[in-house]
A and B are shown apart, each in its own frame.
Chain A
Amino acid sequence: MPLYLPIAELSMNVFVVLGMGGIVGFLSGVFGVGGGFLMTPLLIFAGVPPAVAVATQSNQITAASVSGALAHWRRGGVDAKMGAVLIVGGALGAFFGAQIFTYLRSLGQVDLMISLAYVVFLGSVGGLMFWESVRAIMWQRRGYVPPRKPREERHKAWIHALPFKMRFRKSHLFISALLPMAIGMFVGLLSAIMGVGGGFVMIPAMIYLLNMPTNVVIGTSLFQIIFVTALTTVFHSVNTQTVDIFLAVLLLPGAVIGAQIGARIGFKLKGEQMRALLALMVLLVCVKMGLGLVLEPRELYSVADIEELGGSH
């Protein structure tokens, strides 16, 4: 059943869209990740213009994060003060990201930027994750248990030297607001140019840099993601009119149902094996994106119409 998407300006089969939502939802359920970094490339591979894929995905992530964030909020798993600082940074990052996005779109280079960003981030995150999980599996086989560093030792000295210190009660932290703000800003930037929530950067940063207790990490990250992706959606709507509400809403049911099924399977997998699998998947998307940049395209020419030129409306 074809469905005409008024903003993407193309017809897509409804079941294909529902299915894509389901597949990505399933994988995000299995691995406990947001899935934005899988959905945006999948939409691009399916023929959605990259700019529309990125902007629409921001909208989709807002929807996909609501129920999770609410659940964590009820459980007390959200550090609202930390979240607010992350959001301030995220808003700035998303604003600049959307500006860069708009400028590069007028130059015809936004697709290149999206691909490069994916190759660099997925390559480095996937590579690190793969190495870390393989090492953990090997240690486990040899029966080696790495000594756990005390919390004070893990917390780097330079972090305590930063000014504008703030107390975050829920996270039991007294640190400079600059650090979470910078993390939020970086994540906001990624959200605007890659169509991701940014959990894959924010969660490690919260654990290893901020040293937040793990019981508030996911809730606070979801809390920040809702606000920042919402802002990104508005920025992209205003700047480039590339947000397709219909596409975003259609992706949702599959994503929600897929995530439920995926989560059940995810519980049965071992942590290290799961991370190694996720890392391989991340690297696979990275390689597919990278090949698109390196291999000679079948058609060297492309045509852009008035809307992509930021022309008159």
Chain B
Amino acid sequence: MVRFAAFLLLAMGAFSGAAEALVTDLSNRRIEIRYSFAGADLILFGAVGTTPINAQDETYDVVIVVRGPEAPAVIRRKDRVGGIWVNNETAAFPSAPGYYAVASSRPLEEIAAPTVFAAYGIGFNNLPLVAAGPRGLVAPDPHFRSALFRLRSEEGLYRQEQDNVSLVSEGLFRTDVHLPANVPVGEFIVETFIFQDGSLKARNRINLTVDKEGFERAAYTFAHHYPFLYGITAVLVALCAGWLAGISSRK
């Protein structure tokens, strides 16, 4: 239903505007994790263009959502059992974004009403997360849901209310996208929303690919697709390295 409404809006935007509607681009559309990868900072820039708003004299707001690939995640909680702290209760999320960042030109609550953001699924609290229960999917325990957000925020994987979209000049805006070193690989979606007077005026999406490249990619693929050969290789490498180290240290 939300998606249908969004689609309608998008279609209306496309019909009313000219060919040059909202455009965005990233300083780099393909991130390669190499051996020295310590995270990446990207610049996203965009132009409002000929959208329903007149960027020359009217004020507007920009909200940018970057979403990483969906993957299952399990949250475990430690409890004291017989004097020691043991992983006890768990909540399994069959699908949660591996990266999620929201940047905005003003604090979200000043841009539009919470219901508006809920309708477009903007913000972590509006993500449609479900947990696996004994009888199918259920709404997750709020403690576990907020733990997922907190843990991933600490890892730099979820970022909300941290990044600013700066409005450069008439109709131009930019923001920084921070990808930490532990960013998951896969397809990312970068969505840009233009708000005015508390309602959505335009939106678009572009893609971003994060991939392990070269040697690192090869090692990861090798380990996961040919685990037996990887194990044998690890042993042979260890034997050779150990033998060489022994020879060189005797000299």
Residues in chain B near residue A7, CB distance under 8 A: 219-220, 223
Q: Would you call A166 an interface residue if the criterion is a C-beta within 8 Å of the partner chain's C-beta atoms?
A: no
The one of A2, A64, A234, A302 in contact with B242, judged by C-beta atoms closer than 8 angstroms, is A64
Q: Shortest CB–CB separation between residue A52 and chain B, in angstroms?
A: 11
Q: What separation, in Å, do the CA atoms of A297 and B150 have in the docked complex?
A: 15
Q: What separation, in Å, do the CA atoms of A63 and B34 have in the docked complex?
A: 26
Q: Shortest CB–CB separation between residue B201 and chain A, in angstroms?
A: 36
Nearest opposing residue in chain A for B215, CB measure: A6
Given contacts A108-B90, A252-B245, A306-B72, 14 further A-B contacts (CB under 8 A): A2-B37, A6-B217, A7-B220, A63-B239, A63-B242, A67-B243, A108-B76, A234-B234, A249-B237, A253-B245, A295-B85, A303-B73, A305-B71, A305-B74
B238 touches A303 (CB 8 A): no
Residues in chain A near residue B76, CB distance under 8 A: 108, 301-304
Q: Would you call A265 an interface residue if the criterion is a C-beta within 8 Å of the partner chain's C-beta atoms?
A: no
Q: What separation, in Å, do the CA atoms of A177 and B106 have in the docked complex?
A: 76
Residues in chain A near residue B216, CB distance under 8 A: 4, 6
CB proximity to B under 8 Å, residues A252-279: 252-253, 256-257, 260
CB proximity to B under 8 Å, residues A226-270: 226, 230, 233-239, 241, 243, 245-246, 248-249, 252-253, 256-257, 260
Q: What separation, in Å, do the CA atoms of A226 and B245 have in the docked complex?
A: 15
Residues in chain A near residue B217, CB distance under 8 A: 6
* 5 CB-based A-B contacts, threshold 8 Å: A3-B36, A6-B216, A11-B37, A233-B238, A294-B83
Nearest opposing residue in chain A for B39, CB measure: A11
Q: Would you call B178 an interface residue if the criterion is a C-beta within 8 Å of the partner chain's C-beta atoms?
A: no
B85 touches A296 (CB 8 A): yes
Give the number of residue pairs across the A-B interface with Cβ within 8 Å: 181
B241 touches A252 (CB 8 A): yes
Residues in chain B near residue A236, CB distance under 8 A: 231
Nearest opposing residue in chain B for A70, CB measure: B246
Residues in chain A near residue B184, CB distance under 8 A: 305
B234 touches A70 (CB 8 A): no
Q: Shortest CB–CB separation between residue B96 and chain A, in angstroms?
A: 9
Residues in chain B near residue A152, CB distance under 8 A: none
B75 touches A241 (CB 8 A): no
Residues in chain A near residue B71, CB distance under 8 A: 305-306
Nearest opposing residue in chain A for B146, CB measure: A301
CB proximity to A under 8 Å, residues B128-148: 144, 147-148
Q: Would you call B224 an interface residue if the criterion is a C-beta within 8 Å of the partner chain's C-beta atoms?
A: yes
Q: A67-B243, A293-B85, A303-B152 are in contact. Are A230 and B37 (CB under 8 A)?
A: no
Q: A109-B87, A243-B230, A303-B151 are in contact. Are A11 and B38 (CB under 8 A)?
A: yes
What 0/1 readout, one digit per residue, does chain A (54-84) give for beta carbons within 8 Å of chain B? Answer: 0000011011111110110000000000000
Q: Shortest CB–CB separation between residue A118 and chain B, in angstroms?
A: 13
Nearest opposing residue in chain B for A313, CB measure: B224
Q: Would you call A300 an interface residue if the criterion is a C-beta within 8 Å of the partner chain's C-beta atoms?
A: yes
Q: Shortest CB–CB separation between residue B88 and chain A, in angstroms?
A: 9
Q: What separation, in Å, do the CA atoms of A257 and B246 have in the docked complex?
A: 10
The one of A3, A10, A246, A304 in contact with B219, judged by C-beta atoms closer than 8 angstroms, is A246
Q: Would you call A153 an interface residue if the criterion is a C-beta within 8 Å of the partner chain's C-beta atoms?
A: no
A70 touches B151 (CB 8 A): no
Q: What separation, in Å, do the CA atoms of A306 and B93 have in the docked complex?
A: 10
A109 touches B86 (CB 8 A): yes
A237 touches B227 (CB 8 A): yes
Q: Would you call A138 an interface residue if the criterion is a C-beta within 8 Å of the partner chain's C-beta atoms?
A: no
Q: What separation, in Å, do the CA atoms of A145 and B182 have in the docked complex?
A: 60
Q: Would you call B108 an interface residue if the criterion is a C-beta within 8 Å of the partner chain's C-beta atoms?
A: no
CB proximity to A under 8 Å, residues B47-75: 71-75
B181 touches A300 (CB 8 A): no
